[in-house]
């Protein structure tokens, strides 16, 4: 693990101070900032101003935002409500760049704060000093992965809907970079099933420091919980890193399982689009995988 440098020490302290200053402004002057927000029905008018960062930190008032329920949604239940998805779209619209490019540190700070607030979970761009090479990019569809030795595509279906919606993508001929999710069909748990259903392929080998700490980094990224968000629709899915990839020559920055693509509203047509993706800081593993309800 990389040693803590002067830069990292100062960055942590100064980022915390900046956040504290912003929070102080919000706490003391929330009413008038809320008034300003309400004064501009077309939010893009204030999106580019020096106040946009503050306005996005205003806690959602009960009449403005519906609190999001972070409990697990089964396959047939509804995903995020239309109103909560549209609020997320609005909140992100002024800070997510139109160009699909790596985010600046300031953009990451703002976006992770909005996501943490709106999705009611701790969203981080960096954990334990480790981060992916980027957090905003194009996602493309991946195939199902073998969960245990002898697994077949048909066994991935839970019900007839599953068969129709998720099995068209097929199953990868080889194993994911972490190999199987379970030792056998008999020992496979619901967690193993969910990990394969909601896996993403991420180029963790491109993370800074990976080549000097291969084993540690691979352990860190194996089944690492991540939130993936479609900023155009507000769809969000809690996933795990289940594979390495995609290859840089594909033009994609991330891969999503068929279920992940479906719940990101990217399951049809070209099956690709721009997404935000960050760590979910959940050491107790209490946040369920799947679409955010």
Partner 1 sequence: MKTYFYSHLVEIETITTKLNEIDIAVHEREELVEIVHDTIHHHVIDAVLDELNEEDKKQFLKLLVHNDHDTVWQHLKQKVANIEDKIKSAINTIKQEFHADMP
Binding residue for partner 1 (CB under 8 A) from 1, 4, 17, 248?
A: 17
Binding residue for partner 1 (CB under 8 A) from 1, 44, 51, 212?
A: 51
Cα 132–138–143 angle (5° rounding)? 90
Residue 45 sits in the site that holds partner 1 (CB under 8 A) = yes
Whole-angstrom CA distances from 273 to 24, 79, 96, 266, 269 are: 37, 19, 14, 7, 11
For the purposes of burial, counting CB atoms within 10 Å of the CB of 288, is it exposed (0-12), middle (13-18) or buried (19 or more)? middle
Binding residue for partner 1 (CB under 8 A) from 1, 2, 4, 28?
A: 28
Residue 3 sits in the site that holds partner 1 (CB under 8 A) = no
Instruction: Tell me the sheet residues that pair with 229.
Output: 236, 276
Stretch that binds partner 1, among 6-14, 68-76, 92-100, 284-292 (CB under 8 A): 6-14
Binding residue for partner 1 (CB under 8 A) from 4, 13, 164, 179?
A: 13
Query: Least distance to partner 1 from the beta carbon of 2, Å?
Result: 13
Q: Cα dihedral sign for 285, 289, 291, 293?
A: negative
Stretch that binds partner 1, among 33-41, 113-121, 217-225, 261-269 (CB under 8 A): 33-41
Question: What is the footprint of partner 1 within residues 52-91 (CB under 8 A)?
Answer: 53-54
Binding residue for partner 1 (CB under 8 A) from 1, 2, 4, 21?
A: 21
Stretch that binds partner 1, among 9-17, 125-133, 140-148, 254-262 (CB under 8 A): 9-17
Site string for partner 1, 89-118 (x = CB under 8 A): ----------------xx------------
Q: Cα dihedral sign for 4, 10, 11, 17?
A: positive
The smaller minimum CB distance to partner 1, of residues 27 and 184, is found at 27
Separation of CA 240 from chain center: 9
For the purposes of burial, counting CB atoms within 10 Å of the CB of 135, is it exposed (0-12), middle (13-18) or buried (19 or more)? buried
Binding residue for partner 1 (CB under 8 A) from 4, 18, 168, 179?
A: 18
Query: Least distance to partner 1 from the beta carbon of 221, Å?
Result: 24
Question: What is the footprint of partner 1 within residues 140-199 (CB under 8 A)?
Answer: none
* Cα 293 to Cα 287: distance, rounded to the nearest angstrom: 11
- Across 46-69, b (16+ Cβ under 10 Å) vs e yields beeeeebbbbbbbeeeeeebeebe
- Total binding residues toward partner 1, as defined by CB under 8 A: 32
Query: Least distance to partner 1 from the beta carbon of 136, Å?
Result: 17
Instruction: Tell me the sheet residues that pair with 227.
Output: 238, 278
The smaller minimum CB distance to partner 1, of residues 34 and 233, is found at 34
Q: What is the DSSP string of 223-286?
A: T-EEEEE-TTT--EEEEEEEEE---GGGT-SEEE-HHHHHHTT-SSTT-EEEEEEEEE--TT--
Residue 11 sits in the site that holds partner 1 (CB under 8 A) = yes
Max Cα distance, the chain (Å): 62
Binding site for partner 1 (CB under 8 A): 5-7, 10-11, 13-15, 17-18, 21-22, 24-25, 28-29, 31-33, 35-36, 39-40, 45-46, 49-51, 53-54, 105-106
């Amino acid at each position: 693990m990389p040693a803590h440098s002067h830069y990292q020490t100062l960055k942590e302290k100064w980022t915390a101070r900046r956040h504290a200053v912003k929070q102080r402004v919000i706490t003391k002057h929330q009413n008038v900032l809320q008034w300003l927000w309400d004064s501009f029905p077309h939010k893009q008018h204030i999106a580019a101003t020096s106040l946009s960062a503050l306005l996005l930190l205003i806690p959602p008032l009960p009449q403005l935002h519906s609190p999001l329920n972070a409990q697990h949604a089964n396959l047939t239940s509804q995903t995020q409500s239309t109103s909560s998805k549209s609020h997320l779209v609005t909140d992100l619209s002024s800070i997510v760049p139109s160009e699909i490019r790596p985010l600046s540190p300031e953009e990451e700070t703002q976006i992770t704060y909005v996501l943490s607030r709106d999705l009611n979970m701790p969203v981080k761009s960096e954990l334990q000093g480790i981060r992916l090479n980027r957090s905003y990019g194009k996602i493309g569809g991946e195939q199902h992965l073998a969960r245990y030795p002898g697994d077949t595509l048909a066994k991935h279906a839970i019900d007839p809907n599953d068969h129709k919606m998720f099995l068209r993508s097929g199953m990868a001929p080889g194993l994911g970079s972490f190999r199987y999710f379970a030792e056998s069909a008999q020992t496979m748990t619901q967690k193993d099933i969910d990990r394969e259903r909601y896996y993403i392929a991420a180029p963790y080998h491109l993370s800074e420091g990976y080549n000097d700490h291969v084993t540690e980094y691979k352990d860190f990224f194996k089944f690492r919980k991540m939130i993936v968000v479609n900023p155009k629709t507000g769809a969000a899915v809690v996933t795990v890193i289940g594979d390495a990839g995609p290859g840089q020559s594909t033009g994609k920055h991330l891969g999503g399982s068929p279920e992940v693509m479906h719940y990101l509203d990217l399951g049809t047509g070209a099956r690709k689009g721009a997404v935000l993706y960050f760590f979910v800081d959940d050491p107790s593993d209490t946040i369920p995988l799947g679409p955010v309800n």
